[in-house]
């Protein structure tokens, strides 16, 4: 049985409650009502550990949780009930029947943006007859005062007498207009589209479960300054004991195989994610640095088969060239992640944290990503980075890294500079000087 929780305001509950009558095998839905976004954060933190997936009633709560609780948001499949083209045009037909004078040209529709292809309106309606819309990007709903931003956009157009109709997704928008004799038209997801959302998040949950059950290999090799059998035996015993102690400390069971000067570990993806904090830092590194007087190379390998994972792990260990115990990951797509330095984090000044929060609010890039970039600049001791640098060290795709850098460039927090280092294939990667 998969347990999915749904978060809704008291206003949205009027239509969200329809999902309770959706019957899908092995799915149990539980709805929770929140008062405001601060209350939503508390509920999310309280409930997320007990559920397999989360659905938000709309894009504002979804983007809020994604931005402010990203470290928890990324650990569980999340979605929001969206309006499909079918939902939209069904509602438009209803509106045109009820209001024969309706026209797109004299309307404000606050849920049209490039991410949903403007619900194909730009393919149907002439440019001069298109409705007003809030923003070209859904990211506007991630602002701290999103509800006020939406209201003010509608109110300004009414005040200027440009529109006669307001179409909205915000179920509480009418409360803002109570004293202005304006009644927004609410558009909500239909029963069928809500069912589609639930089925989609169910697929994500099944993928996560499949990933968590896959095997991950670890390759631990200790350094040897000389070929001394007594020293080799001592280090074998010391490393093996440390692995057992680490197992007990975390309450996990790493299957361990011993060879001459290395150990092989086998575990599942779920425990591997815990050990590496979702491939961000490696608690085993810190533990071994404290327990052992000698360096250990730790390679983690993920593969389609156990043999492939073992090969990837051994390759990953070869990248450990530092003077201390460290760790690298080599994924089945041959993405190298590391070095993972352990649980220690960079001490940040309050002024730096405030600055990163300001950048996060301006760019709508999550504070967690900005902190990682800040840490990467510190760790690599350089202010100029490529998308590949971010991809390797932040465990994100190159495409995502490029989007982050372009977003920072747009707001003058990064600037492209000449890069004379040529890659093995293709042209040089674009280099950005960071200004955080």
User: In this model, does residue 365 exceed pLDDT 50?
Assistant: yes
Task: Band the pLDDT of 395: cuts 50, 70, 90.
Answer: low
pLDDT tens for residues 112-142? 999 999 999 999 999 999 999 999 999 888 8
Q: How far apart are the C-alpha atoms of 35 and 386, rounded to whole Å?
A: 42
pLDDT tens for residues 143-191? 888 899 999 999 999 999 999 999 999 999 998 998 888 899 999 999 9
Q: What is the mean pLDDT of residues 9-20?
A: 93
pLDDT tens for residues 64-90? 999 889 878 877 899 999 999 999 999
Q: Please provide the size of the chain in residues.
A: 436
Q: What is the DSSP letter of 202?
A: H
Give 326-393 as a DSSP string: EEEEE-TT--EEEEE--S------HHHHHHHHHHHHHH---HHHHHHHHHHHHHHT-SEEEHHHHHHH
**335 or 263: which carries more pLDDT confidence?**
263
H helical segments located in 126-168:
146-159
Rg (CA), the chain: 26
Query: Which residue in the block uniquely carries the two structure tokens 């944290």?
Result: 353
**350 or 325: which carries more pLDDT confidence?**
325
pLDDT tens for residues 23-60? 898 899 999 999 999 999 999 999 988 999 999 999 99
Q: What is the pLDDT of residue 391?
A: 78
Question: Which residues, other chains included, contact 166 with Cβ-Cβ below 8 Å and sequence gap of 6+?
Answer: 107, 108, 110, 154, 157, 158, 173, 182, 184, 185
Q: What is the mean pLDDT of residues 212-237?
A: 83
Question: Which residues, other chains included, contact 137 with Cβ-Cβ below 8 Å and sequence gap of 6+?
Answer: 113, 114, 115
Q: What is the pLDDT of residue 26?
A: 87
Q: What is the pLDDT of residue 11?
A: 92
Separation in Å, CA 50 to CA 54, 76, 362:
10, 11, 34
Least confident stretch, 95-104, 232-241, 381-390, 418-427: 418-427
Least confident stretch, 229-243, 313-327, 337-351, 391-405: 337-351
Task: Band the pLDDT of 340: cuts 50, 70, 90.
Answer: confident
Task: Band the pLDDT of 345: cuts 50, 70, 90.
Answer: very low
Q: What is the pLDDT of residue 82?
A: 94
**92 or 342: which carries more pLDDT confidence?**
92
Q: Which domains does the chain have, with CATH numbers?
A: 2-82+192-210 (3.40.50.2300), 85-188 (3.40.50), 213-340 (3.30.70.270), 350-434 (1.10.10.10)
User: In this model, does residue 226 exceed pLDDT 60?
Assistant: yes
Burial class for 210, CB neighbours closer than 10 Å (0-12, 13-18, 19+): exposed
Q: What is the mean pLDDT of residues 213-230?
A: 82
- Using CA of residue 285, residue 288, residue 289, residue 294, what is the dihedral sign? negative
Query: Strands 414-417 and 431-434, how do they pair?
Result: antiparallel
Q: What is the pLDDT of residue 113?
A: 92
Beta bridge partners of 55: 6, 79
């Amino acid at each position: 049985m998969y347990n999915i929780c749904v978060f809704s305001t008291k206003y949205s509950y009027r239509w969200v409650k329809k999902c309770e009558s959706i019957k899908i095998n092995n799915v149990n839905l539980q709805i929770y009502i929140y008062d405001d976004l601060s209350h939503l954060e508390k509920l999310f933190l309280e409930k997320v550990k007990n559920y397999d997936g989360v659905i938000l009633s709309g894009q504002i709560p979804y983007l809020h949780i994604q931005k402010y609780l990203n470290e928890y948001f990324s650990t569980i499949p999340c979605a929001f009930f969206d309006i499909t083209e079918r939902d939209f045009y069904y509602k438009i037909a209803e509106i045109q029947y009820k209001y024969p004078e309706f026209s797109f040209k004299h309307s404000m529709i606050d849920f049209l943006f490039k991410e949903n292809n403007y619900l194909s309106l730009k393919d149907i309606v002439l440019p001069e007859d298109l409705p007003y819309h809030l923003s070209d990007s859904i990211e506007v709903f991630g602002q701290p005062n999103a509800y006020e931003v939406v209201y003010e956009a509608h109110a300004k157009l009414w005040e200027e007498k440009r529109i006669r109709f307001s179409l909205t997704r915000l179920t509480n928008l009418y409360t803002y207009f109570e004293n202005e004799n304006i009644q927004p038209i609410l558009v909500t997801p239909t029963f069928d589209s809500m069912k589609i959302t639930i089925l989609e998040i169910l697929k994500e949950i099944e993928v996560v479960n499949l990933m968590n059950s896959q095997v991950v290999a670890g390759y631990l090799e200790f350094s040897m300054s000389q070929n001394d059998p007594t020293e080799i035996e001592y280090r074998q015993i010391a490393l093996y004991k440390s692995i057992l102690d680490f197992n007990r400390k975390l309450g996990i069971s790493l299957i361990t195989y011993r060879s001459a000067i290395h150990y092989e570990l086998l575990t599942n993806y779920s425990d591997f994610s815990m050990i590496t904090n979702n491939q961000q830092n490696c608690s085993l590194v810190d533990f071994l640095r404290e327990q052992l007087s000698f360096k250990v190379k730790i390679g983690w390998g993920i593969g389609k088969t156990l043999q492939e994972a073992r090969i990837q792990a051994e390759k990953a260990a070869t990248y450990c060239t530092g003077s201390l115990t460290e760790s690298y990951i080599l994924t089945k797509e041959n993405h190298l992640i590391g070095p993972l330095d352990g649980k220690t984090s960079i001490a940040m000044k309050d002024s730096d944290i405030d600055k990163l929060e300001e950048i996060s609010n301006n760019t709508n890039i999550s504070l967690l990503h900005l902190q990682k970039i800040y840490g990467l600049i510190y760790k690599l001791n350089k202010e100029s980075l490529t998308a590949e640098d971010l991809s390797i060290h932040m465990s994100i795709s190159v495409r995502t890294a490029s989007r982050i850098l372009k977003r920072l460039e747009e707001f003058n927090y990064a600037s492209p500079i000449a890069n004379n280092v040529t890659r093995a294939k293709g042209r040089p990667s674009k280099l950005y000087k960071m200004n955080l």
